[in-house]
Amino acid sequence: MSDNKIALVTGANKGIGYEIAAGLAARGFTVGVGARDEQRRDAAVEKLRASGADVFGVPLNVTDDASVSAAAALIEAKAGRLDVLVNNAAITGGWQQAPTETDLSIVRDVMETNVLGVIRVTDVMLPLLRRSASPRIVNMSSGVGSLTRQSEPDGETGPLSMAYAPSKTFLNAVTIQYAKALRDTNILINMACPGFVATDLNGFRGHRTPEQGAATALRLATLPDGGPSGAFFEDAGVVPW
């Protein structure tokens, strides 16, 4: 069993999740690289190990109860606890449709991954997190989920969707519920917006690198005791609800 702190990052085979995994490993964590596709997971684990990271692959589809339970069993067997959970996995959808002509199946799929997936993973991992001396949960949200922010800090409003942006609003509400429920524990749970990052999610249009996009999540994953909980950050600033 490793003496290192143990982290799990969902959707860590590419993009921002991969860089969060790399950043946590660089900070001395043993990192579970959660990913649903075996080949992409193995490739990420191999690449991270080649850079000296202490990582292991975690088969994980956040929409599948059995997969999430198996992931918890794997971490329990490996470490007996979990110190950091980063709920990063997400999908997008619905951008091609006018919000007035919504295909409800897209909304269902996006909510299943971006919201129910986070609840599913968090609830199953909580018993392992409760065994940590300083447990932290980071939910990857987005400024587009802000109800009051009219545009990104760079002035971009982005396209509209009844699926992706509302899924992040719902995720923020869910995170607040967790923060209240866990108020009397040492678990800190917060939301991170990575900024507009060039990844598959947006056809690589973002102007930040995935490494830059990982920075806020890394800060929240390593908050000192007594740090904030139930807060929504982008860089050093708080994102308005």
Known catalytic residues?
A: 164
Using the rule CB under 6 A, give the single segment among 74-82, 89-97, 123-131, 172-180 that binds ligand NDP: 89-97
- For residue 113, what is the DSSP state? I
User: Within the chain, what is the greatest distance between any pair of CA atoms?
Assistant: 54
85 binds ligand NDP (CB under 6 A): no
Is 11 a binding residue for ligand NDP by CB under 6 A? The answer is yes
| 62 counts as binding ligand NDP under rule CB under 6 A | yes
Q: How far is the CB of 176 from ligand NDP (least distance, A)?
A: 17
Phi, psi of 190 (to 5 degrees): -140, 170
State in angstroms the smallest separation of the CB of 100 from ligand NDP: 24
Count, residues near ligand NDP per rule CB under 6 A: 32
Question: Per rule CB under 6 A, is residue 201 in the interface with ligand NDP?
Answer: yes
What is the footprint of ligand NDP within residues 137-176 (CB under 6 A)?
140, 142
What is the distance in angstroms between the CA of the first residue and the CA of the last residue of the chain? 41
**Is residue 222 near ligand NDP by the rule CB under 6 A?**
no
Q: What distance in Å separates the CA atoms of residue 18 and residue 33, rounded to the nearest whole number?
A: 8
CB of 78 to ligand NDP, least distance (A): 19
φ/ψ (deg, to 5) at 80:
75, 0
Nearer to ligand NDP, 134 or 212 (CB): 212
Going from the C-alpha of 91 to that of each of 66, 83, 122, 140, the distances in angstroms are 20, 25, 18, 12
Using CB under 6 A as the binding rule, whether residue 47 contacts ligand NDP is answered as no
By CB under 6 A, residue 55 contacts ligand NDP:
no
CA distance linking residue 178 with residue 237, whole number of Å: 22
- Per the DSSP assignment, residues forming a β-bridge with 191 are 139, 232
